[in-house]
Amino acid sequence: MQQNNIPEDTFFLPRSLPNDLEGFAIFYPKKFPAIIALFEKLAKIYFKKPKEFKEFIYKEQKELFEGFYKIKKDYDKEKNKTNEFIVKTDERLHKLFCFKFWIVNYGFCDGPLHDYYVEKIRYYAEKIAEWEIIEEKEYAILDVERTLLQGDYADLYLQSAFIGIDLYNKLNSSKVFSNQISKIKTLISKHDDKSCYIIIEDMLKIIKTQKNTELKEIHELLKEPIETARVRGDNLALYQVIIHAFEFHEKNVELKQRYDDMVKHISHILDLGRNKLPKQECEELKVCYQMTNLFKEAKDVFGTLDPYIIPFWFGMLEELARRINVPKYMMNMGHAGMFYFLVWYLPAELKAKVFTPDPTLFDIKKL
């Protein structure tokens, strides 16, 4: 894939991003200016190298977790959690978040590179789509475009739906839960979630005992929502997963079939590309497809930190907010809570700390 005719700004650190709810694209280049050159360097390195980009994603995820546990360990160890200590910890979290999360999860996956690949896929979709009658033209192009953008990577949503099939089969055939399952099915048909929660609560007590193979298997299928429930402090995630498995069972089975068919459909589309495009364009289409697929994967990979980092980080900011008496409406804040809300209530020396640039690159040892 040639870089010659690629607009140079494709590799620039994005100034705004569609997903960047908290405006990190504005804050991070000022707080951590080294991110600008680093992003441009990485963007040029991985632009046409899906295989290497995939390795990069997992390497960064590893360091992200390492860094997080390092910060959390220090935080938990500290007996005297002063305001200054919290501000310092927040700064460390931002440095980690900026260099190991935001740069890939946002900078790559939602930035100009994302737009470039999407536009290229659209361009090639028009070239390779096939139709018989003119009314089908638009749909045929959209079909190619959307199928390629969808990709064959089964993301967390799809994986949840597939796990839902196994969960349904296990629970539905279980003698232990036959009574509860029959009630749940009736309640789902009446859209009565609240009553379902009560029944599921009883089931969970039994499942968590893991006293036989059947319960162990069900517990294993519920491993992720059990962890989310533990972190959140309520069982909402578990209610959701079990209701979903029953409410959408038939659709989940269809979905599995559709997913399998789509894998074949993608292969057919790429074959069309091979037949209709010159070699170089065909190669470019393949790279664009692989990169967009990896962007989806990256979001899942980095998103795995959410259940751990969010309660820790948000909890810490709320603790500080209580101490410095910020107005109540500011209490519901996100990752950017420090520099949007809390900083205005901090003493001058801590304010200066928040707004002092850190020009160094990320180094896990120095974090």
Interface with other proteins (CB under 8 A)? 18-21, 109-110, 114-115, 118, 132, 134-139, 142, 146, 149-150, 155-158, 160-161, 191, 193-194, 197, 225, 228, 232, 234, 236-237, 239-241, 243-244, 247-248, 251, 255, 292, 295-296, 299, 303, 306, 310-311, 314, 334
Using the 8-state DSSP alphabet, how is residue 22 labeled?
A: T
- Non-local (6+) Cβ contacts of 143 within 8 A are 129
- Give the C-alpha distances (Å, rounded to integers) separating 134 from 7, 138, 141, 193, 339: 34, 8, 11, 47, 55
Q: Which of 113, 104, 99 is nearest to 48 (CA)?
A: 113
Tell me how far apart the alpha carbons of residues 285 and 283 are, in angstroms, rounded to a whole number. Answer: 5
What stretches of the chain show up as alpha helix (H) in DSSP?
A: 24-31, 34-46, 50-77, 83-97, 112-128, 137-150, 156-173, 178-189, 193-209, 213-221, 223-232, 236-247, 249-276, 279-303, 306-323, 337-340, 348-354
To other proteins, the closest distance from the beta carbon of 20 in angstroms equals 8
Nearer Cβ to other proteins, position 149 or 346?
149
CB of 299 to other proteins, least distance (A): 7
**CB of 296 vs other proteins, minimal distance in Å:** 6
Minimum distance, C-beta of residue 354 to other proteins, in the bound complex (Å): 23
Estimate to the nearest angstrom the gap between the alpha carbon of 291 and the chain centroid. Answer: 16
Of the pair 33, 303, the CB lying nearest other proteins is at 303
Of the pair 105, 215, the CB lying nearest other proteins is at 105
Distance of closest approach, residue 294 Cβ to other proteins, in angstroms: 10
Among 113, 105, 103, 109, smallest CA distance to 9 is for 113
Q: Of the candidates 248, 289, 242, which has an alpha carbon nearest to the alpha carbon of residue 117? A: 289
Nearer to other proteins, 20 or 60 (CB): 20
| CB 114 to other proteins: min, Å | 6
Which lies closer to other proteins via its Cβ, residue 184 or residue 346? 184
Between 160 and 180, CB nearer to other proteins: 160
